[in-house]
Chains A and B, each alone.
Chain A
């Protein structure tokens, strides 16, 4: 956090000053570790084992915050008798189909809900369409009525299942898997549990060190289980904070430029699941579901109405048929392979630099070299704009400029001070930026580019009678413009995002005002309220010292300007603060409403004593003790009967590439991971496959304070470039001896995809680990470097292949195996020869590791048929 979010870290320092214990778990000792009370070096890719150990520690010692757990989580909910755990099936849950690599989730459901599990086909579709991402604003659809055992004794209640599932995550096992000594693990477990419950809370902070794994979603699930068990969700000083790495990456998820989502986490329609508007709406909400998400139809109608304005009417299902349909995975990696295969003709890059920033850089560049045309919009000539003349593939002869047909348009972009608009920061806070100056030369905002591109396209289609062009011609695309360049009004766009009454133009104050009859429109329901009362609430700048510590009048947070989600949980079931120290939102009997420091995340006047009548659904079905108002049952989920496609509980699997045999289960890596089985996307072998010793070391990558992501905004900036002027690889003194590396000398790092060279940094901050009785070495690389800019170096992301988390289709680029050799890499075509030789030695020519582990050395257990 100190490395990548230094200004956010001031609040950690503030907490430290007040006596907080700071624990930092990271494969290497970073600037965050330097200030931490406890630094835990861990083997990259084993966090579920570590966190699972904490879950076990809590449960075995009964350290959970029982009152909170009983009232606010699904600990008491009873799961189907058909459920079989990884404990029973050596690393697989019940319902696994080795042919498709997916689960039939029927047996994972709560008892009596088995019909809502969905078969393999549904799971496969969800995997292909990264359906897990939808749940960023709300839980997955499910019926709200659940059988519970408040004594937590029923063998199939979630609490007991949890106990059994995590029983084997002992401190000894944590040490064996993670390389974390037992004493260190126990120090963390003690600190975490002692600093939680009624009077205290503990916060968990993560970033892409958790998401970029084949089991990334389950990493976060494990964190959520701990935080729910300890009562750290919905309370001040608690929670799980995702530190996002780009100015508006939260915004670009809420108002998604993502293939599978529409604004406000509405799903992009799927051709088979949602052929009609009715199917689509029905799929978003489940009959009988509790909570606000049951209004999904209104949200959907408002979006369509915002897109197609007057043309969107009830009788044509609000132009639902204009929406394109997914047929499967259309994610960025699928798209890149589509480029290599010639299926994609044109590509737009908006301030993103996949030649450096995405996994498998060579595939990215070869893909772009096979397009008809490419449009790059950026401040600088980034590597993704110059791949055709300046890249390693040009060096190796794989791209020959005279034979590369890609037409490239570079359009300079306006910087953040040369346009106005909102960013959504990492805590869902929208902040409006004023424009300071005009952009230089041909530079324009992306708002200008998209608006005028749409305008020109629509002009070219004028008079067209083709059905396919209706969606463009009927598009509501009449934004007011101003200035010499006809800049569209960002504020007008924000108004549309907020939504308004069609007849009067009155901005909506809340998404509860949205109607499903076409009388209101709104482009992103969760953002409704940002323009309440016709005021740009995101532009509010009341100084911090002039308002409460929650600072509600600075910017605007979705939803409804709430700063802390699920804050009903900051009060006990009767509505009283859990403790004076931790009071935040509580029930005021006198005024008959929820009051406190923040906007209550609950119906304002629903008393804690409210119990829904039987048969109720939607908001009315939420009891006065159901704080998780976006979940189908109003509870925090220790166990996820739906939502995740790779298991209802987190399970430690080894990364797709690991030098270690999974000590916990026969199944080596996630059986549901998403693979692209292509010869240009090999995976290094892992045990029990032969030849894993060819790539004996673990590599991981991350950021340096001095640089930003793919370097497009830092290697180009003199004062930043000079602070970290060269690509390097951090190795321990032990590995330096083993491989003959000298400090500041050269080394090259090899995987089955590529080889890159870097200067060597021998440092005590990287240390080898004891893992399962062996010494395991890890190396670390920054991923900021590329071939353009003031300082240059080879891109670390070239080393990774593409294997994805099945829930959200994010790649595993925080861990891989590699070899490290002293000296510089070969140049020209010899570079590819070296990699080919490694592939041959690793037995990868024409071979891909099986998804379900085949291990002839282990006794077979009760497992389904294996893929051959």
Chain B
């Protein structure tokens, strides 16, 4: 279901002091075209000279990156599910001697053993097995030795199968909490409306880390500074495509003017729905959501949580003005009290 546009989109660049800024630029990541090749992860690292993120087999399907971190600015999530996807005309495992699916258990195991990614503090990828296990929604696989072979008596319990892949990235929020809380001006809004960390300004205070409603921005171990996707600010300034979108073999990652991308995305959802892929939906496209809409938004084939995305992200600084007002009142009261006290003593 596509939400109709109700509000005039805010132009964050104009709000950040750019006179006549260029159109807001962004990413539309269409997961229905993703083949999980991870070219985006590598192209990003090659261009931005991002360090390696560790050599750990995570067991989360083919995801060995785990999460967006200071050392992985694109992250391809892989979700194996015992469910159909709209373009399949036959169930992949129909008629085979299958038992219950493995997915919940394996995802859980993968989550439980996933080590830290060499970054601080950030989000340790899937450190909690439960959300990982939610990636799949089939019945639990017994997985214990001694259970009779499911194939022998248990024909065809597992027929459906789909493998979702999604290249995640910084959302470049319209209301970016990381930027709001940055005390040094290291995080700033570019003329394209994107949110970028200036590595020569960042002092590693880390305030931005808990502020991000998506758990994207992260401090690099041994360096201390915060790092994340810049939407290849250096490239887009001269009219070039960001490295990940340039490499993406199947145009799953599309870069362009945000308004144009939103139009394209709506058309794509309509087309997919018409083709029977009714599970297609957009995420992060709506300027009325808790972060004012994302500069990098997605076409998903399942609920956001399945991909490790928060269902209703809210800018963590949303309540700040109200809090500041209260704090100001309190401060004023205190000041009055103090002055009164002084006055009283002087008396």
Contacts and interface: CB of A to CB of B under 8 A. Distances in A.
B96 interface: yes
Contact of B57 (A7, A726, A740, A762): A726
B250 A9 contact: yes
A375 interface: no
A775 interface: yes
B149 A734 contact: yes
Interface in A15-38: 16, 21, 29, 31-38
B110 A743 contact: yes
Interface in B150-179: 150-152, 158, 161-165
A2 B252 CA distance: 13
B97 A768 contact: yes
A735 B36 CA distance: 26
A632 B187 CA distance: 72
B88 interface: yes
Contacts of A32: 35
A721 B57 contact: no
Contacts of B162: 34
Nearest 5 CB-CB pairings of A with B: A181-B95, A740-B145, A733-B102, A34-B163, A775-B151
A775 B152 contact: yes
Given A38-B88, A733-B150, A740-B145, A762 B102 contact: yes
Q: Which residue of A37, A734, A764 has the most chain B CB atoms within 10 A of its CB atom?
A: A764
Given A706-B38, A763-B80, A743 B143 contact: yes
A76 B298 CA distance: 56
A731 B61 CA distance: 12
A764 B80 CA distance: 7
A173 B165 CA distance: 36
A571 interface: no
B268 to A, nearest CB: 10
A719 B42 contact: yes
Contacts of A706: 38
A696 to B, nearest CB: 12
Interface string B215-251: 0000000000000000000000000000000000111
B41 interface: yes
Interface string A784-817: 0000001100000000000000000000000000
A767 B98 contact: yes
A7 B249 contact: yes
B92 A29 contact: yes
A192 B234 CA distance: 48
Contact of B89 (A38, A734, A759): A38
Contact of B37 (A31, A767, A822): A31
Contacts, number: 191
A767 B159 CA distance: 10
Contact of A184 (B80, B94, B106, B142): B94
Nearest to A718: B52
Contact of A705 (B37, B65, B87, B101): B37
Contacts of A7: 249
B57 A768 contact: no
B105 to A, nearest CB: 7
A740 B145 CA distance: 4
A34 B76 CA distance: 15
B185 interface: no
B145 A737 contact: yes
Contacts of B65: 722-723
Interface residues of A, number: 62
A204 to B, nearest CB: 19
Interface in B40-87: 41-42, 45-46, 52-57, 59, 61-62, 64-65, 80, 82, 87
Given A9-B250, A29-B161, A740-B145, A41 B37 contact: no
Contacts of A719: 41-42, 45-46, 52
7 contacts: A10-B249, A35-B87, A38-B89, A736-B102, A762-B143, A763-B80, A790-B55
A302 B68 CA distance: 60
B105 A737 contact: no
A775 B97 contact: yes
B18 interface: no
A607 to B, nearest CB: 44
A9 B39 CA distance: 13
B132 to A, nearest CB: 12
Interface in B87-140: 87-90, 92-103, 105-106, 109-110, 113
Interface in A760-775: 761-765, 767-770, 775
Contacts of B106: 743, 761-763
Contacts of B64: 722-725
Contacts of A775: 97, 149, 151-152
Contacts of A29: 92, 161, 163
B249 A184 contact: no
Contact residues on B (Cβ < 8 Å of other chain), bracket: 35 or more
Interface string A713-752: 0000011111111101000111011101011100000000
A354 interface: no
B147 interface: yes
Contacts of A310: none
B97 A41 contact: no
A165 interface: no
B55 A764 contact: no
Q: Which residue of B53, B92, B106, B165 has the most chain A CB atoms within 10 A of its CB atom?
A: B92
Given A733-B100, A768-B97, A742 B109 contact: yes
B144 interface: yes
A9 B144 CA distance: 39
Given A31-B37, A705-B37, A736-B102, 5 more contacts: A41-B92, A738-B149, A767-B93, A767-B158, A775-B151
Contacts of A2: 35-37
A442 interface: no
Given A2-B35, A179-B96, A763-B61, A187 B89 contact: yes
A722 B39 contact: no
Contacts of A568: none
B324 interface: no
B144 A737 contact: yes
A551 interface: no
Contacts of B250: 6, 9-10, 13
A6 B147 contact: no
Contacts of B163: 29, 31, 33-34, 765
A831 B91 CA distance: 42
B87 A37 contact: yes
A765 B80 contact: yes
Contacts of A10: 249-251
A34 B35 contact: yes
B116 to A, nearest CB: 14
Nearest to B146: A740
A691 to B, nearest CB: 21
B126 to A, nearest CB: 13
Given A184-B90, A767-B98, A768-B96, A6 B42 contact: no
Contacts of B147: 737
A200 interface: no
A740 B144 CA distance: 7
Nearest to A740: B145
B77 to A, nearest CB: 13
Contact of B141 (A34, A733, A738, A791): A733
A131 B164 CA distance: 45
Interface string A28-53: 01011111111101000000000000
